Structure 1
Amino acid sequence: MPYANLKVPAGLVDAQQKERWVHQITEMYVEAFGEQARATTMVLVEEVPDGGWGIGDHVLTLAQLTGDGPG
């Protein structure tokens, strides 16, 4: 079963964007594995709470990632 797990900061994307991602990623797997992959492709969009991740030993916030805060 093809599987994609996308982790994004909570509040960064809306329901429409998540739906577009599900469709686009499903299509990508169908292109790679054929139409039979459509029925079993799972796309999981997980929202990570603000400050719940970091890069290079720095905790990131939604404001930093969107350019609305100190960074």
Structure 2
Amino acid sequence: MPFANFKIPAGSLDEKQKETIVTRTTELYVEIYGERARANTMVLVEEVTDGGWGIGGNVLTLAMLQQPGDGHEDA
């Protein structure tokens, strides 16, 4: 059974956006494995409590992610 697990910051996506993740991920697996995969594909979208995750040893919050960048992002 194809399986995908997305962990996202709580409150960062609305229901329509989460639905889009599920449907588009399912379609991707169907492209790869064929139509037989559709009925058995599981996509899990989990919301992680704000401040309950981090990158590079630093705890991050949704507010931190929503701040404008420092101008050094890759184009």
Aligned equivalent of 1:39: 39
How many residues matched?
Answer: 68
Q: CA deviation at 1:66?
A: 1.5
Three-state SS of the structure 2 residue aligned to 1:45 is strand
Matched, 1:59 2:59: yes
Q: Could you tell me how far apart the structure 1 residues matched to 2:6 and 2:67 are?
A: 21
5+ long unaligned stretches in structure 1: none
Give TM-score scaled by structure 1 length.
Answer: 0.93
Residue 40 of structure 2 aligns to which amino acid in structure 1?
T
Q: Could you tell me how far apart the structure 2 residues matched to 1:66 and 1:33 are?
A: 36
The percent of aligned pairs where both chains have the same amino acid is 65
Give TM-score scaled by structure 2 length.
Answer: 0.88
5+ long unaligned stretches in structure 2: 69-75
Q: Deviations over 1:6-35 (max 9, x none)?
A: 000000000000001100000000000000
Q: Could you tell me how far apart the structure 1 residues matched to 2:66 and 2:24 are?
A: 23
Aligned equivalent of 2:6: 6
